[in-house]
Amino acid sequence: MSTQPSPTLHDKVLHHLDTIYAGMDVDTGALATDLLATMRLDHPYNEPVPHQNHWSQEDIILITYGDSLLEEDEHPLHTLHHFLHRYAKGYLNGVHILPFFPYSSDDGFAVIDYSSVNEALGDWQDIQGIASEFRLMADVVINHCSSRSVWFDNFIKGEGIGHDFFMTASPQDDLSSVVRPRTSELLRETQTASGTQYVWCTFSHDQVDFDFRNPAVLTTFVSIMRQYLDMGVDIFRLDAVAFLWKDITTPCINLPQTHEVVRLLRTLVEHARSSAVLITETNIPNRENLTYFGNANEAHAIYNFSLPPLLVNTLITGNCQHLKNWMMSMPPAQNGTTYFNFIASHDGIGLRPVEGLLSEIELNTLLSTMQQFGGLVSWRTAASGQQQPYEINIALYDALQGTVRGADKWGLERMICAHAIMLGMEGIPGIYIHSLLGTQNDYEKVKNTSHNRSINRHRWDYQALQSALADPVSTHHKVLSRLQSLMQVRTQQPAFHPNATQFTLQLGDAVFGFWRQSIDRRQSIFCISNVSDENQDIHLSDINLIGTDHWVDLITDSAISLDDPSLTLHPYQTLWIANRPA
């Protein structure tokens, strides 16, 4: 006979629900009981320890599609597992497999069926096999699903599961204040059994938005997350969660109910598995993004969306002032929370996160430089009705092939410098597979799909890739081997713990530096990068190395002599200067 839910946990869930559904005709007591049963918390469980870090310096996440690597007559997920075992194990310990479910568009983010694995990729056994060796991160595409799903079919028919899952509005409603990430019309005209309805579509007309005012939608997603836990998922990426709750009198982004849903999901997930982590994917201005930490009771981690555009801008201009100012403004993450750092992903380089950080002139310079290097620009419709740049679509290797003056010979060094900066920063690093492999712009895929984001979603023939990686003169071999070396060093340094102390250094515009100190204060690392295409000298007095310790550059494993008053950094060179007690 099962034990009744803990009154404390039931009351906590009830409080979340009362906040979410305030003023609505919802039996929150019964709903709380249902959610606890759905997450199988109607039996004894372990109370999570507050402010506990479920990560260390050993955590590095590879970001990839399930079919980024293709081998003839083999499930792509099996090929991915082989790649991870051969090229990633020992360097990184986690993998984010982008939506691996049946889908109709947006390379997986228009999910048809959340409960099954896309047969073209493999099956749940393949997912569990990867999860048995690597920490698995998976998407919960929580804002919308495919218009080809059974749920939406039932909405059109007006019966069955899903018939009441979707958000609708009227063309006569004043929706002018709604924040949009795209240029398409917000409402999709849809013929249903009950007449014409206008379905809310934040992203595309194939991605129909859920209506979380219906508690059945919430219960369904709790059930989905329970299944993913059972299949080995340890990290949940809440996709586009900022748009989850809609109120047509508001901008429909970052609403209080959305934050409370994140708090509720954290409560349920961390009681089901204490080590599980929620990451919110909120491609929005920096100050808004930070609110998803809550009071260490919402997301365990938030995407550091300002980092990619600021770091690329730094390396193409040779000036780190904006990156430095941003880093100084970022609050240290409380224990139990951390940043998720990345500089490239399956999406583009988002531009909303640098609103207020880069001037219009600087943003235009960044855009024109990226276009010069083959990049594309995706747009959104602002509240004013004007189109504004939303993201830059480009492979990171191509984005860093030169400066504002044009392409040059330092592309590889810039690529390594960018990752050395990210790998040293406070937070958990995520490395996109096409950055790890030095993949360049895929113009053919853009032509075939007519989607700008396809430029950085190349699919490798695995045999061809292995040949390239075995060739010491190939760019792909050089990028992979050097990033492997950096990752191997990082994972051994306590001062690179995601929550270790971080201070920004003041070393001029062309040298970007920060100091990390381990939680036990025994190790210090000065991370210093020349972000320009000219040699830069730094004075050791500027970083105040303690004379009673021996100091070494971890990247080259060479000693730093305190007898020399200065160090010379070559273009885009990074030093990780660490102490070794005498």
Query: pLDDT tens-digit profile of 321-377?
Result: 999 999 999 999 999 999 999 999 998 899 999 999 999 999 999 999 999 999 999
Angle of helix 256-272 relative to helix 7-20, nearest 10 degrees, comes to 160
What pLDDT, in 10s, does the model give residues 262-289?
A: 999 999 999 999 999 999 999 888 899 9
Give the whole-angstrom CA distance, residue 214 versus residue 335: 34
Backbone angles phi, psi at 293, to 5 degrees: -75, -25
DSSP per position, 281-339: ---S-HHHHHGGGTTTTS-SEEE-TTHHHHHHHHHHHT--HHHHHHHHHSPPPPTT-EE
Angle of helix 321-329 relative to helix 307-317, nearest 10 degrees, comes to 150
Among the listed residues 533, 401, 406, 369, the one whose alpha carbon sits nearest the alpha carbon of residue 475: 401
Give the whole-angstrom CA distance, residue 238 versus residue 580: 41
Has residue 45 got a pLDDT over 50?
Answer: yes
Where do the structural domains in the chain lie, given as residue ranges? 501-581
Answer yes or no: are the C-beta atoms of 438 and 476 closer than 8 Å: yes
Has residue 46 got a pLDDT over 90?
Answer: no
The three-state (H, E, C) secondary structure of 72-126, written as one string: CCCCHHHHHHHHHHHHHECCECEEEECCCCCECCHHHCCECCCCCCCCCCCCHHH
Angle at 275 between CA 272 and CA 281, to 5 degrees: 95
488 C-beta neighbours (distance < 10 Å), count? 12
Query: Would you place residue 448 in the very low, low, confident or very high pLDDT band (cuts 50, 70, 90)?
Result: very high
What pLDDT, in 10s, does the model give residues 84-128?
A: 999 999 999 999 999 999 999 999 999 999 999 999 999 999 999
Has residue 540 got a pLDDT over 90?
Answer: no
Active site residue 239: yes
For residue 568, which amino acid is it? T
Has residue 569 got a pLDDT over 70?
Answer: yes
Q: How many CA atoms lie within 13 A of 523 on its CB side?
A: 19
Which is it for the CA torsion 487, 240, 338, 251, positive or negative?
positive
Which of 239, 347, 442, 533 is flagged as catalytic? Answer: 239
Question: What dihedral do alpha carbons 460, 462, 463, 465 form, nearest 10°?
Answer: 60
Q: Compute and round to an integer the Cα radius of gyration of the chain.
A: 24
What is the per-residue pLDDT for 3?
53
Query: Would you place residue 42 in the very low, low, confident or very high pLDDT band (cuts 50, 70, 90)?
Result: confident
What is the per-residue pLDDT for 495?
97
For the chain, the residue count is 582
What pLDDT, in 10s, does the model give residues 59-69?
A: 999 999 999 99
Answer yes or no: are the C-beta atoms of 58 and 491 closer than 8 Å: yes
Has residue 141 got a pLDDT over 90?
Answer: yes
Give the whole-angstrom CA distance, residue 288 versus residue 523: 33
Question: What is the DSSP-derived secondary structure letter of residue 358?
Answer: B
Give me the residue label for tokens 């004894």.
44
Angle of helix 462-470 relative to helix 475-490, nearest 10 degrees, comes to 80
What is the per-residue pLDDT for 325?
96
Burial code of 57-71, b = ≥16 C-beta within 10 A, e = fewer?
bebbbbbbbbbbbbb
> Which helix (H) or strand (E) is 131 found in, with range?
helix 124-131
Angle of helix 76-83 relative to helix 462-470, nearest 10 degrees, comes to 10
What is the per-residue pLDDT for 1?
42
Query: Would you place residue 155 in the very low, low, confident or very high pLDDT band (cuts 50, 70, 90)?
Result: very high
Query: Would you place residue 219 in the very low, low, confident or very high pLDDT band (cuts 50, 70, 90)?
Result: very high
Has residue 239 got a pLDDT over 80?
Answer: yes
Give the whole-angstrom CA distance, residue 349 versus residue 399: 10
Q: Is 542 exposed, middle or buried (0-12, 13-18, 19+ CB in 10 A)?
A: middle
What is the per-residue pLDDT for 74?
96
For residue 22, which amino acid is it? A
Question: What dihedral do alpha carbons 312, 415, 447, 306 form, nearest 10°?
Answer: -30
Percent of the chain with pLDDT over 70: 98
Give the whole-angstrom CA distance, residue 315 versus residue 399: 10
Give the whole-angstrom CA distance, residue 533 versus residue 172: 56
Has residue 565 got a pLDDT over 90?
Answer: no
What is the per-residue pLDDT for 541?
84
Which is it for the CA torsion 535, 541, 542, 544, positive or negative?
positive
CATH class of segment(s) 501-581: mainly beta
User: What does the mean pLDDT of the chain come to?
Assistant: 95
> Which helix (H) or strand (E) is 529 found in, with range?
strand 524-530
Q: Is 131 exposed, middle or buried (0-12, 13-18, 19+ CB in 10 A)?
A: buried
Please give the span between the terminal C-alpha atoms of the chain, in angstroms, as a whole number. 62
